[in-house]
Every structure is written in structure tokens, then in C-alpha cells.
Amino acid sequence: MKRAAVLAATLLASACGGAASGNQQAAAATEASPAFECAVDGASDYGTGCTLERSAAADGMILTLRSPTGSFRRLRVARGRIAAADGAEPARIIAEDSNRVEVAVGGDRYRLPRQMLR
């Protein structure tokens, strides 16, 4: 009986350790990038201070775009396409050149340097 209890405790501890390792791997897979230009939360002009976090996804990459006020949007980048990853409003490319892509979601606009999309 004691042997079974020790075995069960060992298995439980191993399972918890595996979950912690998985969380550490997920945190390592998320990568933050420097600030970029955005016009969010009703702003008419672009300003700096928005940041981007990249996370690997099964079918591409998830970008979390954060504004200085704390609001955020999530985009999915897969096979050269950009789409909203959640929410009811679609993402649309409104301008692009060799250096950046300008994306709008609702009333928010983001000027994303191309190297951030790789």
C-alpha cells in the first residue's frame, strides 16, 4: 500500500514538472520586438510605442500588437497572409512597400516593419 502511494506521488510530481517545462518552452517561443508606429484607440496620427509579441502557431505565427494604453489585437500570419486571429473585425492590408506593411483592424492602424513579420 505504501509502495503504491509513493509511486502515485512520484508520478504526480513528474507530471507537474512536465507541465512546468512545457510552460517554460511556450514562454521561450514568445518573442517581443521593439516599438513600432501605430494609430490606435481613436488616434488620427501615427505615434510610437506599440509593441509586438510573436508566438509560434501550428499553421504560422500569432502576432500580438499592444498599444501604450494596454489595448491589443492579435493577427495570424501564415503563408504570406495576414488575418485577424480573434475578434469580430477583420484585418486588412491598407498599404505596403518593401520595408513595411500597414494593417488596419477596426479603427486601429499599424505600420509593421517587414522584418517583424518573418
Residue 90 has a pLDDT of 96
Residue 31 has a pLDDT of 55
- CA–CA separation, 80 and 23 (whole Å): 28
- CA–CA separation, 83 and 111 (whole Å): 15
- CA–CA separation, 61 and 73 (whole Å): 14
Residue 26 has a pLDDT of 41
For residue 97, give the nearest of 78, 77, 83, 111 by alpha carbon: 111
Residue 88 has a pLDDT of 86
Q: Which value, to the nearest 10 degrees, does the dihedral of the CA atoms of residues 79, 83, 87, 92 take?
A: 180
Residue 80 has a pLDDT of 83
Mean pLDDT, each 10-residue run in order, the chain (118 residues): 38 38 43 82 92 92 93 92 91 94 96 87
Q: What's the pTM?
A: 0.70
Q: What are phi and psi of 88, to 5 degrees?
A: -90, -15
Q: Which three cell numbers stand for residue 5?
A: 502511494
